[in-house]
């Protein structure tokens, strides 16, 4: 079965006219497709254009040029009344949770259902179901101020899902949470995706969030997408310097600075860093290195992580032998993976 596109941006540009800075191009020629069932992450530093992109998808902002197609409808040409319908199919969660402080957990989750005109018994049933799903049914009569950050975000998720949207937009939804709570909330979002079949677009500046839940990722830099693809491909083989910086935040697999100096003083042989990935069989090449090239090796540094059941990362090896043998081994390694010679 081929996945159907649920959100498409075609050559989208957004320019703001500002008083102080003149015309600001927040998004420039964006093309991306989020398929039904994806967890799609948009990652970028502050000012990259992430929030603007989300606001175009939920039609809170209009494109300067290009098309935004949501569930088969080009929303750039719709009336305000039709846009409200589109927005109803999109749930949204926020960094600061945006709960109503004067209402209980129940009241917050019931709110969108009331607006949609649901009957009281239907609301009660639906809210209980949602609170059960997010694991805070026992907090139904608490007020937001009585909840932890993680619990507040669970309420936010329950509220966003209340009217059964096909799409959930998560804008920096874990940025206000500690790492352990972040992991809990990300696990919950993954369940929203796999158990309820909701397509999720995650906006983040944290690569760990991408690693935890995204199937696909687009890297946004100064209003442009500089790289996009499956999360494992982008992590295992980042092409752009900005992407590499993001990957390094979760994977310190390359020795640098003092670490590199320490390694150098202990290991006089040539050093190479080889990319590791399940489908790159560097083990086979290394195990025959002595017999074929008279080269032995020692692992001197490395970092390997897991993503969606696959391993990826890098290993730095000291290659000990004659130069010609080491060169031949590096050539062989390069046939199965990317290899960089480490220079001090």
Ligand X SMILES: Nc1ncnc2c1ncn2[C@@H]1O[C@H](COP(=O)(O)OP(=O)(O)OP(=O)(O)O)[C@@H](O)[C@H]1O
Q: Which of 48, 75, 274, 276 binds ligand X (CB under 6 A)?
A: 48
Look up tokens 């920096």; give the residue: 172
C-alpha count within 13 angstroms, C-beta hemisphere, residue 220: 28
Residue written as token pair 């907090």: 139
Q: Does 211 bind ligand X (CB under 6 A)?
A: no
Shortest distance (Å) from residue 92 CB to ligand X: 14
Q: Does 16 bind ligand X (CB under 6 A)?
A: yes
50 binds ligand X (CB under 6 A): yes
Is 29 in contact with 226 (CB distance < 8 Å)? no
Mapped onto helix, strand or coil, the DSSP state of residue 158 is: helix
Give the gyration radius of the chain's Cα atoms: 24
By the rule CB under 6 A, 26 interacts with ligand X: yes
Query: Minimum Å distance from CB 14 to ligand X?
Result: 8
Q: Which is nearer to ligand X, 48 or 274 (CB)?
A: 48
Nearest distance from C-beta of residue 46 to ligand X, angstroms: 3
Residues 6+ apart with CB under 8 A from 80: none
Stretch that binds ligand X, among 42-50, 78-86, 224-232, 296-304 (CB under 6 A): 42-50
Please select the residue that binds ligand X; options are 6, 9, 41, 49, rule is CB under 6 A.
Answer: 49
Q: Which is nearer to ligand X, 26 or 161 (CB)?
A: 26
23 makes contact with ligand X (CB under 6 A): no
Give the residue carrying structure tokens 């809210």. Answer: 127
Which of residues 2, 23, 46, 344 is near ligand X by CB under 6 A?
A: 46
In this complex, which beta carbon is closest to ligand X, that of residue 108 or of residue 174? Answer: 174
Residue with token string 């391993």: 311
Do residues 253 and 317 make contact, with C-beta atoms less than 8 angstroms apart? no
Could you give the strand order of the β-sheet that contains 65-70, starting from the edge strand earlier in sequence? Answer: 22-35, 5-18, 65-70, 73-74
Query: What is the spatial distance between Cα 175 and Cα 186, in angstroms, rounded to a whole number?
Result: 11
For residue 166, give the DSSP letter. S
The residue (of 26 and 68) whose beta carbon lies closer to ligand X is 26
Q: Which is nearer to ligand X, 134 or 218 (CB)?
A: 218
Confirm or reject binding of residue 174 to ligand X (CB under 6 A). Answer: no
The residues that touch ligand X, with contacts defined as CB under 6 A, are: 16, 18, 24, 26, 44, 46-52
């Amino acid at each position: 079965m081929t996945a159907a596109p649920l959100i498409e941006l075609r050559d989208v540009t957004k320019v703001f006219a500002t008083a102080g800075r003149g015309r600001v191009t927040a998004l420039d020629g964006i093309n991306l497709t989020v398929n039904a069932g994806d967890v799609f992450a948009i990652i970028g530093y502050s000012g990259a254009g992430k929030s603007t992109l989300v606001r175009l998808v939920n039609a809170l902002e209009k494109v300067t040029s290009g098309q935004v197609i949501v569930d088969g409808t080009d929303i750039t040409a719709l009336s305000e009344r039709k846009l409200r319908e589109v927005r109803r199919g999109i749930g949204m969660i926020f960094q600061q949770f945006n709960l109503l402080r004067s209402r209980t957990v129940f009241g917050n989750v019931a709110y969108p259902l009331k607006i949609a005109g649901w009957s009281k018994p239907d609301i009660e049933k639906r809210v209980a179901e949602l609170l059960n799903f997010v694991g805070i049914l026992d907090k139904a009569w608490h007020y937001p101020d009585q909840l932890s950050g993680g619990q507040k975000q669970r309420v936010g998720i329950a509220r966003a899902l209340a009217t059964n949207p096909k799409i959930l937009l998560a804008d920096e939804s874990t940025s206000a949470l500690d790492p352990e709570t972040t992991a809990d909330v990300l696990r919950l979002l993954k369940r929203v995706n796999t158990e309820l079949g909701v397509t999720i677009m995650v906006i983040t500046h944290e690569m760990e969030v991408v690693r935890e839940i995204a199937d696909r990722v687009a890297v946004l830099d100064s209003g442009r997408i500089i790289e996009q693809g499956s999360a494992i491909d982008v992590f295992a083989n980042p092409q752009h310097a900005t992407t590499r910086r993001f990957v390094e935040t979760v994977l310190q697999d390359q020795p640098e600075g003092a670490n590199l100096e320490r390694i150098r003083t202990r290991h006089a042989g040539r050093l190479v860093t080889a990319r590791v990935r399940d489908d790159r069989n560097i083990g086979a090449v290394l195990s025959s290195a002595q017999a074929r090239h008279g080269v032995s090796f020692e692992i001197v540094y490395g970092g390997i992580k897991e993503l969606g059941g696959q391993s990826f990362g890098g290993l730095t090896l000291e290659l000990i032998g004659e130069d010609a043998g080491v060169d031949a081994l590096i050539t062989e390694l390069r046939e199965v993976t990317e290899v960089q010679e480490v220079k001090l």
